[in-house]
Amino acid sequence: MNTKELFDEIYEYMINYDHVRVPHGYSTDAISLLTRYNYYTYKEIINRKHPGSLNIEVDDKKVNDFKDRVDYYFEENSPGDYEYRDFIKYISIYLTFIVKKSLHPVGIKSKDMTVTKENNKFYCTGKKRFIKDKNSLCKYCVSRSKSN
């Protein structure tokens, strides 16, 4: 599969998704930052007709493993919420395999992690810890590990 085919799959899902959580107001707490990040990523996807000149091969096994990891996360943390799971799955695939951005927004801070961007590279203070979790998405996230 190439990035254009993968983008087409993502796009087809997103243009039919009608339960987008629109961010209200401006808050800097982690949930609000993540909601805004997902919303603006969704808008970026539906406003693009194609992924530009990208036509890079993507390993199908990696994409399928990534999808399985998202499914696992939702089964453990939010069973039955299939629409939102698939929304997050496609947002995350887009971020990881198409535009190569961090899975969490720059500026997000919690007791477990902080994501920053320096010299066009993403860094996460939680990656070193969370990559050890079963089915962690950190394996695929472009953010590099960074100490606190």
Query: Model confidence over 76-134: pLDDT tens digits?
Result: 998 888 999 999 999 999 999 999 999 999 999 988 999 999 999 999 999 999 999 99
Joined tokens for residue 57:
């091969």
At position 117, the amino acid (one-letter code) is: K
What integer best gives the mean pLDDT of the chain? 91
Backbone torsions φ then ψ of 109, nearest 5 degrees: -135, 135
Q: Are 140 and 66 in contact (CB under 8 A)?
A: yes
pTM of the model: 0.91
Tell how strand 115-118 and strand 121-124 pair up.
antiparallel
Q: How far apart are CA 106 and CA 146, in angstroms?
A: 13
Q: How far apart are CA 139 and CA 19, in angstroms?
A: 29
Number of other CB atoms surrounding residue 65 within 10 Å: 13
